[in-house]
Amino acid sequence: MSSVSTGLTLRLVLGGDADVLVPATLAYDSASPFAVSTVFHTSEGDVTWVFGRDLLEDGITAPCGQGDVAVWPSQSQGRRVVCISLASPSGSALLEAAQEDVVEFLDATFVVTPMGTEMDAIDLDAELAELLGDGTSSHH
């Protein structure tokens, strides 16, 4: 198993001309081949969101996602960005990442787990045994 992570700075859009720069880390682990994690390093501590790698990739070129996470391409201050909208019961946030940072990260994840080979990394027998309970676990 291998993983990829990259640090980047996201822009939290607050409306009007106000924004805040948020240090973050994009992370990918081949043990969870369909997911990426975004860890936001805030003054209150780290906050992690996990969503589909394909959502992040598709959002580079076209709007996608619904519900808690949406991703779409845009322009900001003359440069290409990827917008990420996050919503939770405690509030919502709109973040912008430099498109080249997101593309570079995704390219690195495709080296670890090429698109279309995600299922190869999953041990279905082990996953099913865990889901169905194989009698060896101590969960009663």
pTM: 0.82
CATH level 3 topology of 3-132 = Transcriptional Co-activator pc4; Chain A (2.30.31)
Tell me the pLDDT tens digit for each residue of 78-88. Answer: 999 999 999 98
For residues 136 and 108, the model is more confident at: 108
| CA distance readout (Å), 118 to 7, 34, 43, 55 | 24, 6, 35, 14
Tell me the pLDDT tens digit for each residue of 17-74. Answer: 778 899 999 999 998 999 999 999 988 899 999 999 999 999 999 999 988 999 999 9
The answer, yes or no, to whether residue 117 has pLDDT greater than 90, is no
